[in-house]
Amino acid sequence: MLRKKQLPELLKAWKQNERMKENIVQWTTIPPREPKTVSFPVEMDERIMQTLQKRGISSLYTHQETAFRHVEEGKNIVTVTPTASGKSMCYHLPVLQTLSKDPKARALYLFPTKALAQDQKSELHELVNETGLTIKAETYDGDTPANIRQMVRTAGNIVITNPDMLHSAILPHHTKWVAFFEHLKFVVIDELHTYRGVFGSHVANVIRRLKRICAFYGSNPRFICTSATIANPLELAERITEEPMELVDNNGAPTGTKHFIFYNPPIVNRQLNIRRSATLEARDIASELLGNGIQTILFARSRVRVEILLTYLQELIRKKLGPKSIQGYRGGYLPQQRRQIEKGLRQGDILGVVSTNALELGVDIGQLQACVITGYPGSVASTWQQAGRAGRRQDESVVVLVGSSSPLDQYVIQHPEYFLDRNPESARINPDNLIILVDHLKCAAYELPFKKGDQFGQAEIIEILDFLVEEQILHHSRGKYFWMNDSFPANNISLRSAAQENVVIIDSTERGQEKVIGEMDRFSSMTLLHEEAIYLHQGVQYQVEKLDYEEKKAFVREVQVDYYTDANLAVQLKVLEVDKIRTKHETDLAYGDVTVNAMATIFKKIKFETHENIGSGPIHLPEEELHTSASWISLPESILQTIGHEEVERGLTGAAHVLQHVAPLLVMCDRSDLHVVPQRKAVHSGMPTIFFYDRYPGGIGLSEQVYEQMEKVLLQAEQMIASCPCHSGCPSCIGNVEENGKELALSLLRVAQGGTIDVS
Amino acid sequence: MSLKNKLNRMKKQLTHVAPERETTPVVEVTEEKVSTQKVLDDVVLNELPVEEDHKDHFYSKRDQEIPHYDKWDLLQASSFWTEHDYVMVREVKYPLDHLHGRYRFEELFTVMEEWEDAGLSHPLSSSGKQPGDLLFFDTETTGLNGGVGNTIFLLGYSKIEKNEVVVRQHFLPDPFSEIALYQSFLDDVRTSKDLVTYNGKAFDWPQVKTRHTLVRDDVPELPLFGHIDLLHGARRLWKNELVSCRLSIVEQEKLHIIREHDVPGSLAPMLYFDYLREKDPTEIAGVLVHNEIDVLSLITLYTHMSKLVLAGERNHFSSLDEIFEVARWYEALGAYEEAKKHYKVVAKSTHLLHNKAKAALGHLFKREKDWDRALYCFEAVIRDKSSSNEEVCVEAAKICEHQLKDLNKALVYTQMAFERWQKKGSLLRQKQKVERDAYEKRIQRLKQKMGK
């Protein structure tokens, strides 16, 4: 048997291995960083200082000290430092400092998930116990027993919860929390970067409501936020809290040398530009690392992939590993099980873990030596988060990013500089999205009547209040707006689901044993849950038996078939109002309000391996209408003549395929939140047009962002097509093999950037 | 695009208010109605007669500003003014000998005297209190949930005042006037000491506290009332007997109160919203009457439940089921003498529960180490072939073995228990095994002791 290699040895071997060398596109070595520390602030409470000293800590990292100082000075802060840099001390220390002086003071800790809240509770309990301070820190969430809740409300110094709980259980019952709100000194928002898009827009409004309640009880808490690396932490923090913030980014935590390897699986079919599966390659790399006893985390894109990789790895290296194990980690595991895995990783009993992005968030699993990422996670920020899982303070570590054959992956893997030099994405929110804003105004009015002249963050609310009066939801009397409805508004508003009316998916495989397995927004359900559609859920195939569109229920039954279904959605866009426009030579770039009318028409059954069409059928569903915001590129009408109608159509389709990948990347959103639709003749102008529209009613600012960055979007799309090694189109660029497809798409993209047509 | 246009375009998405989710029912309302105030009811429901102008002369200047003051007047309501604001207070008086359901109000005095004489500690007891201390209290709200935004628009109560029963209802004529509402109400109830409610501990009073918190800087503090919540007792007494313990069902089945032309409590929010638009009290009159009957029924219900609990023997008003439940209630409270007294009534009867009563008596005697009486009770149950209660046999066996040292008898009862247990069969295999072992061990031990 071969001797086990240490990581540096293994890396050396990789550098010499021919096969590896061929597939490694880029090998970047990030040099180690020395710790930067400062002595404890003089004003720090003796008990806290002694606790840290007993833990062997004799100084603070620079960012921790800066955070402490700013908060002591009464400032709001947002700290941005990488994983494992002692980030939570940035809020624990100033909060405990205040509590050590004022035992009546309260703090609210918000975490995006219950698991993180639990983690922090344990950490906090240990810390508090060691200081000997009498501070009660408790979680308050759906799992908190009723008898404890009362205690938390009246006596909890630190209440640890999530935004959903704040929205639906705390704020609408604020009168039970009088003492808490009267003495609320701090609001801690951890993992701030997760609050973006629809979720972030909701949370910003929940914070508006929180601040209103605090003002009512006479408190004015400071905000302490922490974020993973994103481009605009300060802006995001200021938008969510609507308070002036100080940025703390002078990270003083040390790191060892880190190797970042971009790995592209070998091409197996040059003609079609098909590469070996990223999953298989990642599996092989991970098993080599694990086989040498190197603690490794393997990130996979989906829950199913996690299970597949796990089974394989467990099988492959069972003999080599002895008692140490390899575990999976994903949503759907019980909290208890997750805690055990986290502990096993920290203590080293677990050698390997295969995870979805569930481990991207700050769950404490210690630091591993190696990280293998299967497929580009979709954003620079997310990639750094996953990569941050590997990297010890002294030792070397390695991150291997294995590209899949999607256009985005191929672009990133072939342009490592794009990733390495680039700032991470910005996180966008739009708290003033009309639907989100109106929902939270209802909740806010429920919590406290509005007076004329009252503020709700920076939103314009008076017209909305009058509208709600007209709709008989509020009652206006002598300058005040009162909630006058018998419902409990927070119940109808979920912070995390995009649409208000979701279709529930019911598994009716076993009669009498029907169970809900998921839900989907109405708009998507038209193409994914129509009758006879094959719906994939956690790797299991279901066929939709019946879609009750009125009752919003889809009944599915488990099946095993060798095809999937693909539905055509006929989309019509009407521009209602143009808010912004700029011209690039003959091309107009614009942003405004649109109506999207979508109707599912037919679906096709497509065979897995061969992609042949093996049947089709009509879809009978009513048209859906969506009012939202959109940006668009209007190309000159003349190109219809110069290039030809049919060619323009093909070019637009190809360009749209690439743009659908590029645009979400730049505005940092999920692909399904932003749709790209090409139209040969747009209804409003008759010009060949590509639309980008927000999928969420009313828009959450994604398409506006696209408008702002349109040049960048177009340039990147152009580069992506130009650099694709295929001959005339492939799934990694314009979607299909088409004669002249790449040229057509490229020339349209050039025109869009203000260029002229030059078809060879 | 202007915000207004956007709002109108997206109206459907914005005003979508889903029906209230089925959460834990915090309130038990919705009733049928009695004809207590049928006259008023009719007047109100069939439109109030048009008032002549000269009627205004009777009203003060500021009252004339109140919309439809004449209609309020007809409803026996008048204004309560603070410096700049007002609420409406409706007052209706009844003589003490007025019959509401099965009792006259004055019987409250009798049961309160009985509580005084009984010297018992019981959640229903009014011992030490005067009739005028009790506030029979109920609210009407704009929703059924327990959140901050659920506004109380009516604080109603009945109480004994001098030689009358007075119903007083503090009504919120406009949501703006909540400060005046609590000033009026708190000013009015200063002399009361205890609340008597139906589900008031879980709903009405916490909701009063919630809404009071919103105006706490401008109004006096809430008094610290004692609180008798009749729902708890009603559940104890009638949970098995009635389909539900909603006040309306209890009124109908137990208090002989039949409501006519009742406005269901569930409509109260809607009617209040209608009222707010028009400010015409006609809209809300039905709710006022509904609440009036509620608070009057609380007197009758309190009287009736007290009578049931206080009656120690067979009487014309309690059923044996009720006497049995009263006994259990006493037992749960640790009032064993009272419990025995009530169990005995049932044990002596031929009612289905007589064996259960005897077994319960047996347990109570056992507590007192009165082994002979305990065994007597258990044996009485055992002798009844229709009962197959093996646990009672075990109880008897235990007394025989450990206290009376009658091993033969103990063995007989143990074997009897075992047989009865075997006949019964069990669905739970695991439990069955444990139980079988216990029986076999007991039999084994007895046989050893007997030297067999």
Same domain, A201 and A266: no
Do A208 and A156 share a structural domain? yes
Q: Which residues of B touch A488 (CB under 8 A)?
A: 20-21, 23, 143, 145, 147, 149-150
Closest partner CB to B143 (pick from A176, A445, A488): A488
What is the band of A139 on the pLDDT scale with cuts at 50, 70, 90? very high
Query: Is residue A607 in a domain?
Result: no
Nearest CB to B20: which of A445, A478, A486? A486
Instruction: Specify if A733 maps to a domain.
Output: yes
CATH superfamily placement of domain B23-310? Ribonuclease H-like superfamily/Ribonuclease H (3.30.420.10)
* Predicted TM-score (pTM) of this structure: 0.81
User: Which residues in chain A are contacts of B145 at CB distance < 8 A?
Assistant: 487-488
Task: Tell me whether B9 touches chain A (CB under 8 Å).
Answer: yes
Contacts of A473 in chain B (CB under 8 A): 15, 17
Name which of B1, B6, B14 to mutate to probe chain A: the one with the most chain A Cβ atoms within 10 A of its Cβ.
Answer: B14
Query: What's the angle, vertex CA A683, arms to CA A680 and CA A686, rounded to 5?
Result: 55
Q: Residue B154 forms beta bridges with which residues?
A: B140, B171
Q: Are B148 and A175 in contact (CB < 8 Å)?
A: yes
pLDDT of residue A501: 65
Q: Do A205 and A277 fall into the same domain?
A: no
The answer for A729, left when phi > 0, alpha when psi is -120 to 50, beta otherwise, is left
Residue B116 banded pLDDT, cuts 50, 70, 90? very high
pLDDT value, residue A323: 59
The CATH number of whichever domain residue A118 belongs to comes to 3.40.50.300
Q: With left for phi above 0 and alpha for psi between -120 and 50, is residue A681 left, alpha or beta? A: beta
Two tokens at B424?
Answer: 């019964």
Average pLDDT over residues B363-384: 89
CA dist A208 and B164 (Å) reads 52
Torsion of CA B269, B271, B275, B280, to 10 degrees: -150
Q: What is the mean pLDDT of residues A96-111?
A: 96
Range with the lowest mean pLDDT among A488-492, A561-565, B103-107?
A561-565
* Confidence band of A321 (pLDDT split at 50, 70, 90): low
CB contact under 8 A, A483 and B149: yes
Tell me if A295 is assigned to some domain.
yes
The set of residues, in sequence order, having a beta carbon less than 8 Å from that of B302 and lying 6+ positions away, is B108, B111, B124, B134, B136, B196, B228, B230
Q: Are residues A212 and A121 in the same domain?
A: yes
Residue bearing tokens 């959140």: B147
Whether residue A477 lies within 8 A of chain B, CB to CB, comes out as yes
Same structural domain for residues A673 and A746?
Answer: yes
Q: Report the distance separating Cα A263 and Cα A27, nearest Å.
A: 9
Interchain contact, A487 vs B143, CB within 8 Å: yes
- What's residue B51's pLDDT? 47
CA of A489: which chain B residue's CA is closest? B17
Give how far B274 is from chain A: nearest CA, Å. 10
With CB atoms and an 8 Å threshold, state whether B143 touches A698: no
Check whether A101 has a pLDDT greater than 70: yes
How far, in Å, CA of A5 to CA of A288, rounded?
10
Per-residue pLDDT for B21 more than 60?
no
pLDDT band at B33 (very low <50, low <70, confident <90, very high): very low
A142 close to B (CB below 8 A): no
> What is the three-class DSSP state of A561?
coil
What pLDDT does B30 receive?
35
Handedness of CA A745, A751, A754, A756 (dihedral sign): positive
Q: Token pair for residue A150? A: 């009362």
The whole-number pLDDT of residue A574 equals 87
A165 plus A281 within the same structural domain: no
Stretch among B338-342, B370-374, B417-421 having the lowest mean pLDDT: B417-421
Under 8 Å CB-to-CB from B356, ≥6 apart: which residues?
B324, B346
CB pair distance less than 8 Å for A460 and B3: yes
The residue ranges of DSSP E strands in A282-360, in sequence order, are 296-299, 325-329, 350-355
Q: For the segment B145-188, what is each residue's pLDDT rounded down to a tens digit?
A: 889 999 999 999 999 998 999 999 999 999 999 999 999 999 99
Q: Is B273 in CB contact (< 8 Å) with chain A? A: yes
Test A482 with B147 for CB contact under 8 angstroms.
Answer: no
Domain ranges of chain B: 23-310, 388-452
Residue B356 has pLDDT above 70, yes or no: yes
Q: How far away is chain B from the Cα of A550, in angstroms, using its nearest Cα?
A: 15
Does the beta-carbon distance from A478 to B176 stay under 8 Å?
yes
Residue among A175, A475, A698 minimizing CB distance to B10: A698
Interface with B, mutate which of A487, A491, A493, A591 (most B CBs under 10 A): A487
Single out the residue in A231, A248, A265 at which a domain terminates.
Answer: A248
The residue to which tokens 């009058």 are assigned = A466
Kindly state whether B314 is in contact with chain A, defined as any CB-CB distance less than 8 angstroms.
no
B384: Cβ–Cβ under 8 A, 6 or more apart, which residues?
B355
User: Residues of chain A with pLDDT > 70: what percent?
Assistant: 93
Q: Which chain A residue's Cα is nearest to B175?
A: A482
Across the interface, whether the CB atoms of B148 and A486 are under 8 A apart is answered no
Mutate to test the interface with B, among A442, A446, A478, A488 (most CBs of B within 10 A): A488
Q: Which residues of A touch B175 (CB under 8 A)?
A: 449, 475, 477, 480, 482, 484
Task: Check residue A736 and give its pLDDT.
Answer: 73
Q: Are residues A388 and A452 in the same domain?
A: no
Rounded CA Rg of chain B: 29
Given a cut of 80, whether residue A722 has pLDDT beyond it is: yes
Nearest one of A227, A229, A165 to A195, comparing CA atoms:
A227
Are A183 and A140 contained in the same domain? yes
Q: Is A178 on the interface with B (CB under 8 A)?
A: yes
Between these two residues, B84 and B13, which has the higher pLDDT value? B84
Per-residue pLDDT at B140? 96
Residue B13's pLDDT band (cuts 50, 70, 90): low
* Residue B209 touches chain A, beta carbons under 8 Å: yes
Query: Is some CB atom of chain B closer than 8 A to the CB atom of A608?
Result: no
Torsion over CA: B241, B244, B247, B253 (sign)? negative
As a whole number of angstroms, the distance between CA A107 and CA A98 comes to: 10
Q: Is B434 on the interface with A (CB under 8 A)?
A: no
Token digits of residue A576: 């209602």
pLDDT at A106: 97
**Residue A369 confidence (pLDDT) above 60:** yes
A243 and A388 share one domain = no
Q: What's the confidence (pLDDT) of residue A608?
A: 65
Instruction: State the pLDDT at residue B452.
Output: 61
Q: Kindly identify which residue of chain A lies nearest to residue B269, measuring between CA atoms.
A: A486
Q: For residue A231, what pLDDT band results from cuts at 50, 70 and 90? A: confident
3-class state of residue A321 by DSSP: helix
| Chain A nearest-CA residue for B149 | A446
The pLDDT of residue A508: 87
Counting residues of chain B whose pLDDT is more than 70, the rounded percentage is: 87
Exposed, middle or buried, B423 (CB in 10 Å: 0-12/13-18/19+)? exposed
Tell me: pLDDT of A332 over 80: no
Do the Cβ atoms of A435 and B148 come within 8 Å? no
Any B CB within 8 A of A750 CB: no
Q: Is the pLDDT of residue A362 over 70?
A: no
Helix (DSSP H) and strand (DSSP E) numbers for chain A: 25, 32
Same structural domain, A178 and A225 = yes
Does B24 score more than 50 pLDDT?
A: no
Span B204-219, mean pLDDT? 95
User: Residue A446 and residue B19: Cβ atoms within 8 Å?
Assistant: no
Determine whether the interchain pair A434/B6 forms a contact, defined as Cβ–Cβ distance below 8 Å.
yes
Res. A268 pLDDT band, cuts 50 70 90: confident
For residues A349 and A333, the model is more confident at A349
Instruction: Name the residue among A329, A83, A87, A312 with its Cα closest to residue A188.
Output: A87
Q: Is the pLDDT of residue A186 over 50?
A: yes
Give the Cα separation of A12 and B66 in Å (integer). 91
Let me know whether A19 and A53 are in one domain.
Answer: no
Is B218's Cβ below 8 Å from some Cβ in A? no
Model confidence at B222: pLDDT above 70: yes
**What does the pLDDT average to over B328-350?**
91
Question: What b/e string do you get for A110-126 counting C-beta neighbours within 10 Å, with b at 16 or more?
Answer: bbbbbbbbbbbbeebee
Give the span between the Cα atoms of A576 and A597, in whole angstroms.
13
A127 pLDDT above the threshold of 50: yes
Residue found under tokens 């747009």? A682
Residue of B6, B16, B21 lying closest to A500 (CB–CB): B16
Tens of pLDDT, residues A610-625: 667 888 999 998 888 8
**Is this complex scored with an ipTM above 0.85?**
no
* Averaged confidence pLDDT in chain A: 87
| Residue A758 in domain | no
pLDDT at B97 over 50: yes
What are the respective helix, strand and coil percentages of chain B, to the nearest 5?
Answer: 55, 10, 35
- Is residue A319 in a domain? yes
Which member of B8, B10, B17 has the closest CB to residue A473?
A: B17
Contact present, A292 and A5 (Cβ < 8 Å): yes
Kindly state whether residues A99 and A220 are assigned to the same domain: yes
Predicted pLDDT of residue B29? 36
Contacts of A628 in chain B (CB under 8 A): none
Q: Is A571 on the interface with B (CB under 8 A)?
A: no
Interface residue B266 vs chain A (CB under 8 A): no
Q: Assess whether pLDDT exceeds 70 at residue B28.
A: no
Domain boundary among A373, A403, A421: A421
Q: Is B6 close to A447, i.e. CB distance below 8 A?
A: no
Query: What is the per-residue pLDDT across A389-399, written as a single tens digit (0 to 9) for each?
Result: 887 667 889 99
More confident of the two residues A751 and A519: A751
Cα atoms in the 13 Å half-sphere on the side-chain side of B195: 22
Q: Is A97 a residue whose pLDDT tops 90?
A: yes
User: Does any CB of chain A come closer than 8 Å to the CB of residue B213?
Assistant: yes
Nearest to B17 among A172, A482, A487 (CB): A487
Q: Is residue A427 part of a domain?
A: no
Q: Name the B residues in 64-123 with CB < 8 Å from any A CB.
A: none
Confidence of residue A492 (pLDDT cuts 50, 70, 90): confident
Burial class (CB in 10 A: 0-12, 13-18, 19+), B50: exposed
Domain extent at residue A588: 580-594+628-752
pLDDT at A599 over 80: yes
Contact call for residues A481 and A469 (beta carbons, < 8 A): yes
Report yes or no on A388 lying in a domain. yes
* CB contact A500 to B (< 8 Å): yes
Q: What is the pLDDT of residue B203?
A: 94
Comparing A456-460, A520-524, A744-748, B226-230, the range with the smallest average pLDDT is A520-524
DSSP B131: G
What does the pLDDT average to over B261-265? 87
Report the share of chain A in percent with pLDDT over 90.
Answer: 43
Of the listed ranges A121-125, B6-10, B115-119, B223-227, the one predicted with least confidence:
B6-10
The C-alpha atoms of residue B256 and residue B242 are separated, in whole angstroms, by 14
- Count up the domains in chain A and report the number: 4
Q: Which residues in chain B are closer than 8 Å to A175, comparing Cβ atoms?
A: 148, 209-210, 213-214
